[in-house]
Amino acid sequence: MSLIEIRKRSLTIETQYHEGGPVLETPLKLAAACAVIKNPYAGRYEPDLMPFMAELRSLGTLLAEELVATLGKENIEVYSKAAIVGVNGEMEHGAVWHEAGGWAMRSVLGEPKAMVPASKAVAATGYRLMVPLHNIHASYVRSHYNSMEVGIQDAPRPNEILFALVMGTGGRVHSRLGGLTKDKISVHDGQR
């Protein structure tokens, strides 16, 4: 029997043309793919979460493939992941997404080296979470530090978990604060 029972999914796309400065020739696109599932461990302590984490790889792959289809694999420069656990669950129920969601994005994107940033919370229905973003190949590309809000108005219910993956086509609009730029990535260690 599957540990994953999806109630609903969502796909949010933001298209940003400017931040008060010149209009971009190619707008920045950020997208978040979310799935709301029943929490198989709501209301009780489960000592072994590894089977759940392993099974979530398939959900991660589904969401990652949706984002790649939406944005185009060759266009993706930033990524992240998030989990919002309903109040009858615990933080560790969302932490399973670190491996499952991160593995899925790396696999679908061709094994980029930068760590996948994350955010998670245990919260009430309708909670919104700011998710940090950075470059998929080098974490220290300053222009690509950004964030996107994720959440669904009726989720997660107390016995649910909302899992999200986020990808985008570039760094902040009108970034001009120096630091490592994407054209200067040279070490290929996931950091520089």
CA dihedral (169, 173, 179, 184) positive or negative: positive
* pLDDT, tens only, 122-174: 999 999 999 999 999 999 999 999 999 999 999 999 999 999 999 999 999 99
CATH class of 6-184: alpha beta
- Residue 37: φ, ψ to 5°: -125, 160
**Contact residues for 27 (Cβ-Cβ < 8 A; gap 6+):** 15, 16, 17
For residue 67, what pLDDT band results from cuts at 50, 70 and 90? very high
For residue 188, what pLDDT band results from cuts at 50, 70 and 90? confident
* pLDDT, tens only, 77-92: 999 999 999 999 999 9
User: What is the model's pTM?
Assistant: 0.96
Is the pLDDT at 1 greater than 90? The verdict is: no
Domain ranges of the chain: 6-184
For residue 56, what pLDDT band results from cuts at 50, 70 and 90? very high
According to DSSP H, which parts of 72-157 are helical?
Answer: 91-95, 97-109
17's tokens? 């043309």
Provide the residue type at 46 as one letter.
Answer: E
What is the rounded CA–CA span in Å between residue 168 and residue 22?
20
What is the rounded CA–CA span in Å between residue 191 and residue 138?
4
